[in-house]
Amino acid sequence: MRQFIGGFILGIFLVGIAFGMFSAVQQGAIDQFIPAQGGVGQPRQDDVWMISRMVAAEARGEPFDGQVAVAAVIANRIRDPRFPPTVNGVIYQPLAFEPILNGSFWNVNPSSEHVRAARLALNGWDPTGGATFFWNPATATSRWIWSRTVTSRIGRHVFGF
């Protein structure tokens, strides 16, 4: 019996350590993904990074102008009065983007191509001519999105207002 109790206590101890380490890792992971807010001098770096992640999440495998187009939609929303006025605001707007809802946004690794696409879009390149919506016709589940006016199609996505 005594051996059993001794073993039991040892076991609890081990579980405690394991859980402690697990919590620390979790906390580290969460802290890592909270985006830093840039100051006046360097806002663009963070904006480019944010948008490049969305490009990586949404436009993987798309032709390059398709990637720039996806990034341009985000850039267009910032200047549009119907949407939040910052990159963070647009990307994190509740229910706006699928990769945020399903968490994939925090697991992507943007390539230098994705970063370049984001940078071009923030500097004004816009193959869509002002679109503020994009969706994949094959996988879109919302009926409402189809009430938007489609203005162009690039790769798998259609773009519109």
Partner 1 sequence: MSYRDWFANYKNVLLGVLAALLIGAGLMWYSGIGNRTYAMDNALEARYQTAFFDLIDSTENLDVLLGKALASNSNSHNIITLSTAWHEAERARGSLGELPLEMPSMMRSQQYMAQLGDFCYSLATKLADNVEISEQEKETLEELHGETRTMHRELRELTTLAQDRKFRFGNLTSDNQQRLTPETQNVVDGFGKMDERLQDEVPTLTYDGPFSDHVVNMEPRGITGKEVSPQEAANIAQEFMSELGYDFDTNRSESSEGDIPIYHVQFGEADQRDEAAGVGISQQGGHVVWMIVADTPDGEQLDRGEAFSRAQEFVDDLGLGEFTPIGHLEEGNELLVNLALVQDEVIIYPDMVQVTISLENGNIIGYDAAKYYTSHTERDLPESEITEEEAREKVNHELQIEEVRLALIPLSNLEEKLCYEIRGTMGEDIYYVYINVETGQEEMVLLVVETEGGTRSI
Q: Which of 127, 134, 135, 156 binds partner 1 (CB under 8 A)?
A: 127
Q: Work out whether 17 is an interface residue with partner 1 (CB under 8 A).
A: no
Taking the least distance from each CB to partner 1, the nearer of 53 and 119 is 119
Q: Work out whether 110 is an interface residue with partner 1 (CB under 8 A).
A: no
Q: Work out whether 15 is an interface residue with partner 1 (CB under 8 A).
A: yes
Q: Which of 35, 46, 49, 84 binds partner 1 (CB under 8 A)?
A: 84
**Three-state SS annotation for the chain:** CHHHHHHHHHHHHHHHHHHHHHHHHHHHHHHHHCCCCCCCCCHHHHHHHHHHHHHHHHCCCCCHHHHHHHHHHHHHHHHCCCCCCCHHHHHHCCCCCHHHHCCHHHHCCCCHHHHHHHHHHHCCCCCCCCCCEEECCCCCCCCHHHHCCEEEEECCEEEEC
Q: Work out whether 31 is an interface residue with partner 1 (CB under 8 A).
A: no
Residues near partner 1 (CB under 8 A), total: 60
**Residues binding partner 1 (CB under 8 A):** 1, 3-12, 14-16, 18-19, 23, 40-42, 44, 63-65, 68, 79-85, 89, 93-96, 101-102, 112-113, 115-116, 119-120, 123-131, 142, 144, 151-154
